[in-house]
């Protein structure tokens, strides 16, 4: 598995997939730069007259509901419906799931269009699966990732999507596999939008890699290892963000394989 994940990183670099992002205002610059750093090509477009054409043109789609409004939600519905109809892989990032009834209504509609991957923190995954009463603290999780495993399995069974729970341990659940990744650094929680960056990178990898579960694992491990390595030369969150971008761009096979902490069941 370890060698395969590195091969997937090289595959993204070599194919430079075009990733269509309908994402939030806070993270647009960050996620675009991260996509460029791993070798992908980003486009941010949410205008309804062009959104379906952009989905057709791109190799994968990201729907991130962070700064949701009525216009953007309609664009999200159009884009995800188009992606489903032409079997274009897409990622749903359910930012703030459970925080308001409006977000939940939008998410329920988006789930109808069969996302390939759903990535969120533990609170978001639990809220989306509607398996427990969970308080969502803005976009931050109030529970740890391992507490969301049962909810993720239920959500996977209902949606058919691969579920990725972000946290101190990243957990990836498909219909017959559970992968645990234990890389990263606590300082990464002080940089806004790294979860959104993870979703964008997942889109790049599912665009380029046939095995979608391995693609998610490769994207998540790349980001968390980049954060772990970057933290060693960072004085704080600002420099960490810069060093993560650098490490996404220049990470070596030796660095990746030496630091990767992965288990599978």
Alpha helices in 62-121 (DSSP H): 70-85, 101-111
Strand order in the sheet with 178-181: 41-44, 18-22, 60-64, 90-93, 117-121, 162-166, 170-173, 178-181, 262-264
> 2: Cβ–Cβ under 8 A, 6 or more apart, which residues?
257, 260, 262
8 A C-beta contact, residue 31 and residue 104: no
For the stretch 164-219, pLDDT in tens is 999 999 999 998 899 999 999 999 999 999 999 999 999 999 999 999 999 999 99
Contact between 19 and 62 (Cβ < 8 Å): yes
Can you tell me the mean pLDDT for 28-38?
97
pLDDT at 65 over 50: yes
| Average predicted confidence (pLDDT) for the chain | 94
**Helix, strand, or coil (residue 160):** coil
Sign, Cα dihedral of 234, 239, 240, 246: negative
User: For residue 133, is pLDDT > 70?
Assistant: no
Q: Pinpoint the alpha helices (H) of 16-100.
A: 28-38, 48-57, 70-85
Given this model, what pLDDT does residue 226 score? Answer: 98
Task: Give the whole-number percent of the chain exceeding pLDDT 90.
Answer: 92
d(CA 127, CA 131): 7
135 or 117, which is more confident?
A: 117
> How far apart (Å, rounded) are the C-alpha atoms in residues 192 and 178?
27
| Whole-number Cα distances in Å, 122 to 112, 235, 244 | 21, 28, 23
How many angstroms separate the CA atoms of 202 and 35, rounded? 10
Q: Which residues pair with 55 in a beta bridge?
A: none
Exposure pattern of 99-127 as b/e (b: 16+ CB <10 Å)? beeebbebbeebbebbbbbbbbbbbbbbb
Distance of CA 115 to the CA centre of its chain: 12
Q: What's the pLDDT score for residue 76?
A: 98
Q: Kindly state the average pLDDT of the residues 77-90.
A: 98
pLDDT in the model for residue 31: 97
């Amino acid at each position: 598995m370890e060698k395969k994940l590195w091969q997937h990183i090289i595959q993204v670099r070599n194919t430079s997939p075009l990733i269509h992002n309908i994402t939030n205002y806070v993270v647009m610059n960050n996620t675009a730069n991260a996509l460029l750093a791993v070798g992908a090509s980003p486009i941010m477009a949410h205008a309804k007259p062009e959104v379906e054409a952009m989905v057709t043109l791109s190799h994968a789609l990201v729907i991130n509901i962070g700064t949701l409004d009525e216009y953007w939600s309609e664009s999200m519905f159009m884009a995800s419906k188009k992606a489903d109809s032409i079997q274009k892989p897409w990622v749903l990032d359910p930012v703030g799931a459970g925080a308001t009834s409006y977000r939940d209504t939008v998410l329920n509609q988006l789930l109808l269009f069969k996302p390939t991957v759903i990535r969120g923190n533990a609170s978001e995954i639990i809220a989306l699966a509607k398996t427990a009463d969970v308080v969502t603290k803005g976009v931050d999780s109030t529970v740890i990732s391992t507490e969301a495993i049962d909810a993720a399995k239920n959500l996977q069974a209902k949606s058919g999507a691969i579920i990725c729970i972000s946290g101190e341990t990243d957990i990836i659940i498909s219909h017959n596999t559970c992968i645990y990744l234990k890389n990263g650094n606590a300082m990464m929680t002080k940089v806004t939008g790294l979860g959104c960056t993870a979703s964008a990178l997942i889109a790049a990898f599912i665009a380029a890699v046939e095995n979608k579960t391995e693609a998610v694992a490769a994207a998540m491990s790349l980001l968390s290892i980049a954060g772990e390595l970057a933290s060693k030369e960072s004085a704080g969150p600002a420099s960490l963000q810069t060093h993560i971008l650098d490490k996404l761009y220049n990470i070596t096979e030796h660095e990746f394989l030496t630091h990767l902490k992965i288990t599978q069941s």
